[in-house]
């Protein structure tokens, strides 16, 4: 696993060994960012299930201003910190060792709004995709924000998160990426 493109292209990233986290493959990550590239320029990235921090680090490498990562596993947080330092993004990433279910409260208290929201919980925990609604209802996404969900291709996601509707769905083997954008 590595940074695919941008200012930190080629930097290898670590991930937590075992099956507790499921890093996004480089192929899927590259395809995803090729799709969303025209839609984001700078801004704040929020990653609800950090794992290795790979998605946030890729976004920063491609021009995002800052990233806020939620990860409750302390070992995964240490990996995210190590990857952040390796990429020299320590001043642009905020790692919260917290359950993603607390993200809306934490973001609200810090005054952050997301331009890019990644929702990629462990596949067995489908109910966690509903956390996107918490952030939308709390007004924590910008009007032009994108919500990106990585999931098993057989799983059915909600058709919308408030005004954010499905604008693209792509499948890579057993993995699917569904992208939501504001219908307004």
In a domain, 16, yes or no: no
In a domain, 5, yes or no: no
Tens of pLDDT along 154-164?
A: 888 889 999 99
Whichever domain contains 64, its CATH number is 3.40.50.150
Q: Which two tokens stand for residue 72?
A: 């409750």
In a domain, 157, yes or no: yes
Q: Per the structure, how many domains does the chain have?
A: 1
95 CB contacts (<8 Å, ≥6 apart)? 50, 53, 69, 71, 77, 80, 81, 84
Tens of pLDDT along 35-85?
A: 888 777 889 999 999 999 999 999 999 999 999 999 999 999 999 999 999
Residue 91 has pLDDT above 80, yes or no: yes
Q: Determine how many CB atoms are found less than 10 A away from the CB of residue 150.
A: 22
Residue 136 has pLDDT above 60, yes or no: yes
Which residue range is the domain that position 125 belongs to?
26-182
Q: Say what the pTM is.
A: 0.92
Alpha carbons 145 and 107: distance in angstroms, whole number: 15
In a domain, 113, yes or no: yes
Residue 124 has pLDDT above 70, yes or no: no
Tens of pLDDT along 96-114?
A: 999 999 999 999 999 999 9
In a domain, 11, yes or no: no
- Name the average pLDDT for the chain: 91
Residue 151 has pLDDT above 70, yes or no: yes
């Amino acid at each position: 696993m590595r940074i695919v493109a941008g200012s930190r292209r080629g930097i290898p990233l670590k991930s937590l060994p075992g099956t507790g986290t499921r890093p996004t493959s480089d192929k899927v990550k590259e395809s995803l960012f090729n799709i969303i590239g025209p839609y984001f320029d700078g801004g704040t990235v929020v990653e609800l299930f950090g794992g290795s921090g790979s998605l946030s680090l890729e976004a920063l490498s491609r021009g995002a201003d800052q990233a806020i990562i939620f990860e409750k596993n302390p070992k995964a947080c240490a990996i995210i910190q190590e990857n952040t330092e390796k990429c020299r993004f320590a001043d642009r990433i905020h790692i919260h060792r917290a359950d993603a279910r607390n993200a809306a409260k934490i973001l609200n208290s810090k005054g952050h709004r997301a331009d890019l929201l990644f929702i990629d919980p462990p596949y067995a925990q489908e109910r966690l995709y509903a956390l996107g609604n918490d952030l939308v209802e709390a007004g924590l996404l910008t009007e032009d924000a994108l919500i990106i969900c990585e999931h098993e291709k057989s799983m059915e996601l909600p058709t919308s998160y408030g005004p954010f509707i499905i604008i693209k769905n792509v499948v890579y083997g057993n993995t699917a990426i569904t992208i939501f954008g504001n219908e307004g």
